[in-house]
């Protein structure tokens, strides 16, 4: 995050990650299975090095010197998923801008 902050222009960026707290992923974890979002080999998800919840991603960005402008999700039912995004959203989309350190 510090490298992103260093090279980023002042107008900001958008980050989109899978939401590990999404209801179907919680069910998989309950039964001892890791969530899979693609690129599965030997029962592991090799496309994502880290899993995030909305709160953890927001805390990471704030601690790295970014200001959060918008937190949302994608998909056809995004406006309904915003009711309880940590449980109903399959992904987390955050628009952030760089603050001067």
The reported pLDDT for the residue numbered 62 is 94
Which residue in this structure is represented by tokens 């399959």?
90
Question: Does 8 map to a domain?
Answer: yes
User: Contact at 8 Å (CB) between 68 and 62?
Assistant: yes
Q: How far apart are CA 77 and CA 55, in angstroms?
A: 21
Give me the number of domains the chain comprises.
Answer: 1
User: Contact at 8 Å (CB) between 22 and 53?
Assistant: no
Question: Does 65 map to a domain?
Answer: yes
Domain limits at 80?
2-22+50-98
User: Contact at 8 Å (CB) between 13 and 96?
Assistant: yes
Question: Does 42 map to a domain?
Answer: no
pLDDT band at 41, cuts 50/70/90? Answer: low
Digit-coded pLDDT (tens) for 21-39: 888 888 988 998 877 666 5
Which one has a higher pLDDT value, 90 or 61? 61
């Amino acid at each position: 995050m510090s490298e992103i902050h260093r090279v980023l222009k002042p107008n900001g960026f958008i980050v989109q990650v899978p939401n590990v707290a999404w209801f179907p992923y919680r069910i998989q974890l309950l039964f001892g299975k890791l969530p899979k979002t693609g690129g599965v080999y030997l029962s592991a998800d090799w496309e994502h090095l880290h899993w995030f919840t909305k709160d953890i991603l927001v805390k990471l960005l704030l601690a790295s010197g970014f200001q959060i402008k918008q937190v949302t999700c994608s998909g056809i039912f995004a406006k309904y998923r915003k009711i309880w995004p940590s449980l109903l959203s399959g992904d987390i989309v955050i628009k952030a801008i760089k603050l001067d350190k």
